A and B are shown apart, each in its own frame.
Chain A
Amino acid sequence: MINAKNVKKSFGKNLVLKGVSLSVKPKEVVVIMGASGSGKSTFLRCLNGLEKVYSGEIYINNVEITHNKTNLNLVRREVGMVFQHFNLFAHLSVLDNITIGPVKVLGKSKEEAENIAMNLLKKVGLEEKANNYPDELSGGQQQRVAIARALAMNPIVMLFDEPTSALDPEMVGEVLSVMRNLAKEGMTMIVVTHEMGFAREVGDRVVFMDDGQIVEEGSPQEIFTYPKQERTKAFISKIL
């Protein structure tokens, strides 16, 4: 479903991704961990074309998104992304945040989009907030709306970039629980997070990145209990 081959990316002279390869099967939940600055966000952003790769190839559903001629707007419709800082559209109500994509990008009618949006809001437990604005919601609520906004495009894969890192501790649970349900329903997910509990319970595979490379990958069990690489061990001992 997703196949990244030897992806390299640099910012100026700074080589940030030094050849990352990862393939993800349908319905798989892959958790990416690694120290700050190791290139996790950059890699996710390459996967939906927010960053241009320097070399390497990325295929999503057999479409090479790293090809010059690929229309990235079409790719991005199918790849949902949830950001650390939610990035809800500040001037739009919760409902409009969710419907604007289906209406303007997919050309759905307003009624149809609103139906979808209300169902998604039910799913993330925020029906009663439909007419509120983002700044009237807590961080956890905003992140759940952001998840609903991405889901409204009916994506084939969801990317999460530290979705709970900007949240107060008491709000982490509500967001993780939405993500857990999503995984149970069979959504393909790539999640950058340091939530060990979530990784153990939901993750099919944990990928550990350091200095722009994948240094180790395996089942959560393998990575957390028997890490092989020194760098992985050092990192795990820090977040435990």
Chain B
Amino acid sequence: MGGFFSVIWQNLPQLLYGAKLTLFFSVVVIIVATILGLIFALFKISHNPVFKKTGEVYVHIFRGLPLLVEIFYIYFALPMILPLHKWFDPYFTPIAGILALSLNEGAYITEIIRAGILSIGKGQTEAAYSIGMTKYQTMRYIILPQAFKRMIPPLVNQFIQTIKDTSLLSVISISELTRQGQIIISTTFASLQIWTAVAVIYLAMIFTLTGISGYLERRFKIDKR
């Protein structure tokens, strides 16, 4: 039984390095995807037909394709048309990974933000207009603060999904947690121990996120106002 833990213990630095990368990619992707989501959600609810259509097409494409295909497409296919790998050398791999994940998660977040904005009654907008607020002020001070509280639970869900999806970056040799697990197992053959350790580390990250979201929900008294 001592052997069960000793292989984990010996490879812990490598696993934690992987976890650090997983965390890094998760945070960057969550930030980029949220910005994309906000922009395309505003596009989708805009009355300008060009913006509206752009938002719709974006969501259709990036929500419609398997994430793995998106990663392969950006990493392997796109450089055939655009020499991205040369422009971004030597950072093309992480950039491609971040891009693929962000575009994918961003499509889901677009829908979350859009639904949150639309869930705020029309009366709020009209009241804001009636005191002379501009469209921007209405969004910024009246609609988004209320919508944001309602968006917290589905957003946290999506962020959890994002953390898990970073494991797919292992296919383009980004040495995040899952990839580190594979590498360690290829030399130690300790499948049970290493995958157990990997699973525990993922769960720890996700529980932390759930805890933060619980705090946010309480802080914003989400079901109250």
Chain A residues in the interface with B (C-beta under 8 A) = 48, 50, 72-74, 76-77, 79-81, 83, 85, 87-91, 100-101, 104-106, 133-135, 146, 149-150, 152-153
Q: Which residues of A contact B134 (CB under 8 A)?
A: 73
Q: Are B131 and A101 in contact (CB under 8 A)?
A: yes
Q: How far is it, in angstroms, between the C-alpha of A89 and the C-alpha of B121 when the chains are bound?
A: 10
Contact segment of B19-27, B77-85, B122-130:
B122-130
Contact between A83 and B132, CB atoms less than 8 A apart: no
A77 surroundings in chain B (CB, below 8 A): 131-132
Residues in chain B near residue A50, CB distance under 8 A: 126, 129-130
Residue B52 at the A interface, CB < 8 A?
A: no
Instruction: Decide: A88 near B137, CB < 8 A? Known: A105-B132, A133-B225.
Output: no
Partner of A105, one of B127, B137, B149: B137
The answer for the CA separation of A81 and B224 in the assembled complex, in Å, is 27
A76 in complex: contacting residue of B132, B149, B224, B225, CB < 8 Å: B132
Cβ < 8 Å to A, chain B residues 118-165: 121, 123-124, 126-134, 137, 141-142, 145-146, 149
Point out which of A83, A104, A134, A150 has the most chain B C-beta atoms below 10 A from its C-beta.
Answer: A104
Contact call B129/A83, Cβ cutoff below 8 A: no
- List residues 33-56 of chain B with CB under 8 A from any CB of chain A: none
The docked-state distance in angstroms from the alpha carbon of A90 to that of B224 is 10
Measured in the bound complex, the distance between the Cα atoms of B130 and A50 in whole Å is: 8
Beta-carbon contact of B132 and A150 below 8 Å: no
A48 CB to closest chain B CB (Å) equals: 6
Alpha-carbon distance A3/B224, docked complex (angstroms): 43
Per-residue A-contact encoding for B187-225, CB less than 8 Å = 1, 0 else: 000000000000000000000000000000000000011
Do the beta carbons of B124 and A105 come within 8 Å of each other?
A: no
Q: Is the pair A90, B124 in contact by a Cβ cutoff of 8 Å?
A: yes
Contacting residues, chain B, for A73 (C-beta < 8 A)? 129, 132-134
Contact present for A83 and B131 (CB under 8 Å): no
Query: Would you call A48 and B124 a contact (CB within 8 A)?
Result: no
Q: Among B123, B133, B149, which residue has its beta carbon within 8 angstroms of that of A101? A: B133
Interface centre among B124, B126, B127, B224 (most CB of A within 10 A): B127
Of the candidates A74, A76, A85, A135, which one forms a contact with B131 in the assembled complex, judged by CB atoms under 8 Å apart? A76
Cα(A104)–Cα(B129), bound, Å = 12
Tell me if B126 and A83 are in contact (CB < 8 A).
yes
State whether A135 and B132 are in contact (beta carbons under 8 Å apart), knowing that A87-B123, A89-B124 are contacts in the complex.
no
Chain A, Cβ-Cβ closest to B137: A104
Contacts of A135 in B (CB 8 A): 224-225
Contact A100 B141 (CB under 8 A): yes
Q: For residue A152, which residues in chain B have a CB less than 8 angstroms away from its CB? A: 131
Contact, CB under 8 Å: A149 / B124 = no
State which of B124, B141, B224 has its C-beta within 8 Å of the C-beta of A104: B141
**Closest Cβ neighbor of B147 among chain A residues:** A91
The 4 closest A-B pairs by CB, nearest first: A77-B132, A101-B131, A87-B127, A87-B123
Question: Are A90 and B225 in touch, CB under 8 angstroms?
Answer: yes
User: Judging by beta carbons under 8 Å apart, are B126 and A105 in contact?
Assistant: no
Q: Determine how close the nearest CB of chain B comes to the CB of A79; give it in whole angstroms.
A: 8
Closest chain B residue, CB of each to CB of A82: B130
- Chain B residues in 8 Å Cβ range of A81: 127, 130
Instruction: For the complex formed, measure the closest distance between the CB of A75 and the CB atoms of chain B, giving whole angstroms.
Output: 8
B151, chain A: closest CB distance, angstroms = 13
A167 to B57, CA, bound (A): 45
B65 to chain A, nearest CB (A): 37
CB nearest to A88 among chain B residues: B127
Chain B CB count within 10 A is highest, among A83, A87, A91, for: A91
Alpha-carbon distance between A106 and B145 when the two chains are bound, in angstroms: 21
- Residues from chain A with a CB closer than 8 A to the CB of B130 are 48, 50, 76, 79-81, 83, 150
Taken together as a complex, chains A and B put the C-alpha atoms of A76 and B128 apart, in Å, by 10
- A153 adjacent to B131 (CB under 8 Å): yes
Min CB–CB distance B111 → chain A (angstroms): 23
A87 adjacent to B126 (CB under 8 Å): yes
- Minimum Cβ distance to chain A for residue B129 (Å): 6
